[in-house]
Amino acid sequence: MGMRFTNHGRSGRIQRHSLSMLGFSMVEMMIVIALMLVVSGIAVVNTQSALKDSRVAGGYENALMQLRMARQRAIEERKRYIVTFGTPAPTGASTPLGAPTAKSIQIFRWDAGNPSPAPVQVSTIDLPIDVSFAAIPGLPTGSTAVPDGFGSGITAIDFDQGVGAGSGNLVMFMPDGSGHDLFGNSDNGILYIARTGELSSSRAITVFGNSGRIRGWRLVQPGGVATWQVQ
């Protein structure tokens, strides 16, 4: 009878080696999955932050656009156009303008006539859900530090600068492009837009009454010092 050789020892070593390789691959896979989860988490956070920033920027751009559009239409159509922000017209105003919500921007056309007709609402838009007219604590407050020297940095909607106590919420553009309040006073003003409780998201818009010039601003913090920069 011939001798039969077996290779059990080598087979066992190959099997153990295969199991060892399999175990190492599973560890690698777990590490890769963990890294993917971390990267995915970072991506979600960054995406959420970008979306928040885009909503603030969108609210700010919409406010700028409404002001510029109203002024342009006043010049082109030779009519008065009124832009209101956030609250009803001041008590005692000669013409009722309804009651906008705290986040709204409304435009009215005010035709000439005798007697003068009521303003006609042209459009209304609302700021994004997490964005509002807000002067966040920490904004520059000095007279030389606020945008164009308007207001004190603590009132979110502050038109009628230099007229009484100020704090008006609207500007009326005339056919020559200048900005006035409802009583005919030159209407310098400023408004602040920000995400609730987030100083770094702050934007501002200023309006010069005599010329109707409109400027946009963004808060920057070089070296941790809050400063306004023209956009």
- 3-state SS, one letter per residue, for the chain: CCCCCCCHHHHHHHHHHHHHHHHHHHHHHHHHHHHHHHHHHHHHHHHHHHHHHHHHHHHHHHHHHHHHHHHHHHHHHCCEEEEEECCCCCCCCCCCCCCCCCCEEEEEEECCCCCCCCCEEEEEEECCCCEEECCCCCCCCCCCCCHHHCCCCCCCEEECCCCCCCCECEEEECCCCCEECCCCCECCEEEEEEECCCHHHCEEEEECCCCCCEEEEEEECHHHCCEEEEC
pLDDT in tens, 112-169: 888 889 999 999 999 998 899 999 999 999 889 999 999 999 999 999 988 866 668 9
pLDDT in the model for residue 49:
64
Question: Which pLDDT score, from 0 to 100, does residue 64 have?
Answer: 96
Amino acid letter at 201? S
How is residue 35 written in tokens? 């890294």
Q: Indicate whether this model's pTM tops 0.85.
A: no
**Which whole number is the average pLDDT over 62-89?**
91
The C-alpha angle 102, 169, 143, rounded to 5 degrees, equals 115
If you average pLDDT over residues 68-85, what whole number do you get?
96
Token code pair at residue 59: 């609210």
pLDDT(99) > 60: no
d(CA 83, CA 106): 6
pLDDT at 54 over 60: yes
